[in-house]
């Protein structure tokens, strides 16, 4: 915000309260209420104002207090924000990042546990990002704000609470490019493709597979869903010839299925086993912790899928 005086923040309780998870704490005091706006409880209004401000030369970060309620702003995002560049023949850009906390594992039940990224991956004109580390969160956010196009930015609530990934970030300016995956663990026997908090579930599963079964798994963190770094995936498959795709959204029409489809379309000859998906079950997320764990991906499920693919 210090670098770009035209950057505005919009959202519910993002000012004095600093947001539901403290992400914007202190920013209204530092930059003023004219740049950090507390908005009414209307996601449609938040996104609509963001689009209007962008049309008038501003760059906007619009916060959804929980990503579940982004559906209330769906028309403004999909029919307005995503289409302006196309319907003006490239003359108008909409530099808006819509960000918000997402995902389960915290007992938030059906209204505060969704991963709905597939909705927006399916909407031409939008870019979709989901970081797994503090370094990437900062770098990808800067890249998204400077991209000039609308970006949906998923921040996983489980990672807010994961103290083990805390790190000191560089003070100097840096970005992490959209559309570039990261290899979090190298391996030769199978490939896990994932993003967000499931990067850590896959890393834990990979250690179990190696220590207990001698199976050496590679873990790819795609970081950016749209655009997707397919080349890194195919390069890994050229080495391992087996793949498991893991994400937290429901299986039916989820982004894991899109990744599998691209692999089978573009790299089928690299496969020695059918690709597998580990996802949430096709059901709302329950409140009770045992039931939540039952429907969401977990290390045991990922290990089982890895064994099945490796032994095919």
Confidence of residue 37 (pLDDT cuts 50, 70, 90): very high
Average pLDDT, the chain: 97
Report pLDDT for 262: 99
Q: Mean of the pLDDT values across residues 235-244?
A: 99
Report pLDDT for 105: 86
Does 122 participate in catalysis according to the annotation?
no
Reported residue count of the chain is 312
What is the number of H-type helices and E-type strands within the chain? 12, 12
Q: Distance between CA atoms of 22 and 37, rounded to whole angstroms?
A: 15
Domain boundaries 182-310, corresponding CATH code: 3.40.50.920
pTM for the predicted model, two decimal places: 0.96
Task: Report the run of H or E that residue 306 belongs to, with start and end.
Answer: helix 299-310
Report pLDDT for 106: 84
85, 112, 201, 213: which one is catalytic?
112
pLDDT digit string, tens, across residues 284-307: 999 999 999 999 999 999 999 999
CATH topology of domain 7-165: Rossmann fold (3.40.50)
Report pLDDT for 107: 87
pLDDT digit string, tens, across residues 5-34: 999 999 999 999 999 999 999 999 999 999
Which residue ranges make up each domain of the chain? 7-165, 182-310
Q: DSSP letter for 149, please.
A: S
Domains 7-165 and 182-310 share a fold: yes
Q: 308 Cβ partners below 8 Å, 6+ apart? A: 276
pLDDT exceeds 90 at position 139: yes
Q: Mean of the pLDDT values across residues 187-214?
A: 98
Q: Distance between CA atoms of 221 and 243, rounded to whole angstroms?
A: 13
The percentage of the chain sitting over the pLDDT mark of 70, rounded to a whole number, equals 100
Q: Mean of the pLDDT values across residues 189-199?
A: 98
Report pLDDT for 44: 97
Report pLDDT for 185: 99
> What residue ranges in the chain does DSSP mark as E strands?
7-11, 36-38, 59-63, 96-102, 127-129, 151-156, 182-185, 190-194, 217-221, 224-226, 243-250, 276-280
């Amino acid at each position: 915000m210090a670098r770009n005086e035209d950057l505005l923040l919009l959202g519910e309780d993002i000012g004095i309260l600093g947001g539901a998870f403290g992400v914007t704490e202190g920013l209204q005091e530092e930059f003023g209420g004219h740049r950090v706006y507390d908005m009414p409880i209307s996601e449609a209004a938040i996104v609509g104002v963001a689009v209007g401000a962008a049309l008038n030369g501003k760059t906007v970060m619009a916060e959804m207090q929980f990503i579940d309620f982004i559906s209330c702003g769906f028309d403004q995002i999909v029919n307005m924000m995503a289409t302006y560049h196309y319907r003006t023949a490239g003359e108008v850009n909409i530099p808006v990042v819509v960000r918000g906390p997402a995902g389960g594992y915290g007992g938030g039940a059906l209204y505060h546990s969704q991963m709905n990224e597939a909705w927006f991956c399916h909407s031409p004109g939008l870019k979709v990002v989901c970081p797994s580390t503090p370094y990437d969160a900062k770098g990808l956010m800067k890249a998204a704000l400077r991209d000039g196009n609308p970006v949906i930015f998923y921040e996983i609530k489980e990672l807010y609470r994961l103290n083990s990934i805390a790190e000191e970030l560089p003070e100097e300016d840096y970005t992490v490019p959209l559309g570039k995956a990261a290899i979090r663990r190298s391996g030769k026997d199978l490939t896990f493709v994932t993003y967000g908090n499931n990067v850590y579930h896959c890393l834990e599963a990979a250690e179990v597979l190696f220590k207990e079964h001698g199976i050496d798994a590679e873990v790819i963190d795609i970081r950016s869903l749209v655009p997707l770094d397919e080349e890194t995936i195919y390069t890994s498959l050229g080495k391992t010839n087996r793949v498991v795709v893991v994400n937290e959204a429901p299986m039916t029409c989820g982004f894991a299925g899109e990744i599998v489809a691209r692999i089978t379309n573009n790299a089928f000859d690299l496969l020695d086993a059918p690709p597998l998906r580990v996802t949430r079950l096709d059901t709302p997320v329950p409140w009770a912790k045992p039931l939540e764990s039952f429907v969401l991906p977990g290390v045991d499920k990922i290990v089982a899928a890895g064994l099945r693919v490796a032994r095919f």
